[in-house]
Amino acid sequence: MINTIYSIGTKRKNFTFIAWLGISVIFIFQLSIPAQPVWVTQNPVPQCNTLNDVKFIGSIGYSVGNYGTILKSTNSGLNWVSQSSPTTLDLRSVSFINAGTGFICGGSNRWVILKTINGGANWNVSDSATGGTINAIFSFDANNAFVCGGTGFFMRTTNGGANWNNLPIGTVANLNGIYFTSALTGYISAGSGDVYKTTNSGVNWIAQPTGLATPLNSICFTDINNGFAGGFQGKIVKTTNAGVNWSILTTGITQSINKVHAVDPLNVYAVSDNSRFISTSNGGLNWSVSILTEANNNSLKSVFFTDINTGFIAGAYGTQLITINGGINWLPLFAGTNTTGFSISFPSANTGYVGLYIGKLLKTTNAGANWELLTPPVSSNIGSLQFTDNNTGYLSISNNIIHKTTDGGANWSSLTTGVAGQIPSFVFVNPNTGFGACQTGGLIIKTTTAGANWQAINTGFAAESFGKIYFKDVNSGYILTNSLNILTTTNSGLNWVQQITGATQGISDIFFTDLNTGYLSSSQGNLLKTTNGGANWFLVNALAGNFRVISFINSNTGYGAGLWDGEAICKRTTNGGVNWINMDAGTNNAAYGITFTDINTGYIIGAGAMILKTTNGGAITNVQPIYNNNPSEFSLWQNYPNPFNPSTKIKFNIPAASVRQTDMVLLTIYDNLGREIAVLVNQQLSPGTYEIDWNASDHSSGVYYYRLSAGSFSDTKKLILIK
């Protein structure tokens, strides 16, 4: 039996897990966060980013992951603390030579190597560059460390990371895993299925055929002779003579093995996609296969055992698991769930619901401080969800049935809609009146009795495939179709006409701020706008963002969330969509939904059941004054240090008399071509003297400019980044 309890504080989140696993074990987690963060992770906690690697040196452990995530434990994994990271790149590998000194690497198309000499209290950039990918790092001693990556990329340092040198390895295959048994002898697992070996610290390499022609993702040695490598289709190979010969082991799984780890030649462990964990206690002759339901079917990225009993797993969307009995049982080191969130509804400021993958539902009654996992009446993905009050709500899945609850999700009833096709979307405009769009057949359904009865209405557009249906009031509604145009009604769905939008890209979402002003987002960055109720649409921004969803709190201020090139997009506009500013949500998980309960309080949901909350309208930062004085005039100081690498400080004054309460203070960074590359401040500020850091570790050397503007004031200064 496993019981889980977690609680959330105010300025610091404290998570207490109590689990009975034969004996009583208490896990307590702390994740330090700023006192006034812009976006706070509410589920899963402590954080939602994918963790790609976990390692321990004695009782001290580190786990690294996407968006620059670095976590540290100082008591054998019982507590994990978030460490300040100088990058937002995806970190893939961590390696420590002792409790204080270690390296982290990662990045694709732009990579970085980080180093600490004080146990992670500070992480500094050891090396970075644009182009290429780094997959793994191994530090052997205070001087010698090695990294490998895409298309035969290999580097080493012999002076503790002060300099890194590229060395040829003789292949263009991706190099995925690395392990050194001495300062001279090392091994790399390659995408070709080969293992490469060096006996002179990486100067020369010899390919060792393993019998596989499929990628090997990870490699581990227990001594100078015994090693294991794992990879594609569940394959693991083994050597007992320092790589002279490799034998293929039968593991019993076909999922790709992401990491293999051995504590000795007999006890070996590996993790893979789809929550698979395998282990052997006889050197690979037999394997035990487990599907870890605690991981919610997420990919497991890394495994590390400190002995044959105690082990840790890190994986997708914040997955952290621990075992104290050799992998027989696993306990989650995170609270909540980390499946995928598709839909969100807040009927009031405190009560909200999130529909998840495989028929799960989360509920909060205290504005997200706590989320309760409910059991809805279906086991399929909840695609459309809306509550008309705190207790009455509706949900749909991929069929023709809409489900209803009147007691806050405790019980559900199935509503007969009278149509046979799938209902991908529905909307209620008041407690009684609702509309649903059928995917095929050109039909919509309508109820004026809170779902007790439904009327099927033929729109006259049977050839169209319907997606989202949207009503701004009981009469005026819109349907997004698979074409580049939309359907509209002005008589509560009785008649529909087609509106020509002029869109050249697929339309993903629609939102109206009033009867006349509305927006359409597209799948490839275009944002369209109407100011006459949709009679005409015009392109307001061609590169707003690949927004899956948009939400506006007034005619000028709006938000967009989605995914582009594998990274999340969360942006904000304050001028009706003309310009969009990136919001640092602290993650690059895909965002699927966004809603605001007032002008300041908003929520984003997405992959891994990610729930993020803002209480300041998604402002870029909550910069705090260093002096609560009343300056007589605006001032923008020269940054210091200047030149700098990679961080610099910018200080400025906001006077009392000159700034109206409604003025937004904007501090923006531009490159030498005048392109906006970062927004450090975009919010209302009280009078005082402020100071903010800009970390440019993800940017190249060169001349940059920073501009402070508020009301009629504007000042620009130059800063120089030298790497």
What is the pLDDT at residue 30?
A: 35
What is the pLDDT at residue 432?
A: 98
What is the pLDDT at residue 166?
A: 96
How long, in residues, is the chain?
723
What is the pLDDT at residue 632?
A: 86
Q: 697: closest CA among 165, 159, 127?
A: 127
The Cα 424–Cα 445 span in angstroms is 12
Residue with tokens 């640092």: 584
- Pairing type for strands 713-721 and 702-710 reads antiparallel
Residues 6+ apart with CB under 8 A from 188: 148, 154, 169, 175, 176, 177, 178, 195, 196, 205, 219
Give the mean pLDDT per block of 10 residues along the chain (723 residues).
Answer: 28 34 36 49 90 96 96 91 88 96 94 96 90 95 97 97 96 97 97 98 97 97 98 97 97 97 98 96 97 92 98 96 97 83 94 88 93 85 92 91 96 93 94 96 97 96 94 96 93 96 92 95 89 94 89 92 74 88 84 91 92 81 72 92 92 72 73 79 80 83 92 89 91
Per-position DSSP letters for 301-313, written without gaps between them: EEEEESSSS-EEE
Q: What is the largest CA-CA distance in the chain?
A: 80
Under 8 Å between Cβ of 97 and 139: yes
The Cα 329–Cα 271 span in angstroms is 15
The full 3-state SS of 395-440, as one line of letters, equals EECCCCEEEEECCCCCCCEEEECCCCCCCCEEEECCCCCEEEECCC
- Pairing type for strands 610-614 and 40-43 reads antiparallel
The Cα 205–Cα 183 span in angstroms is 14
What's this model's pTM, rounded to 2 decimal places?
A: 0.82
Neighbouring C-alpha atoms within 13 Å toward the C-beta of 625: 14
Amino acid at position 11, single letter: K
Helix, strand or coil, per DSSP, at residue 367 = coil
What is the pLDDT at residue 698?
A: 67
The Cα 136–Cα 259 span in angstroms is 11
What is the pLDDT at residue 36?
A: 39
Residue-wise burial string across 203-229, b where 16 or more C-beta atoms lie within 10 A, e elsewhere = eebebbebebeebbbbbbbbeeebbbb
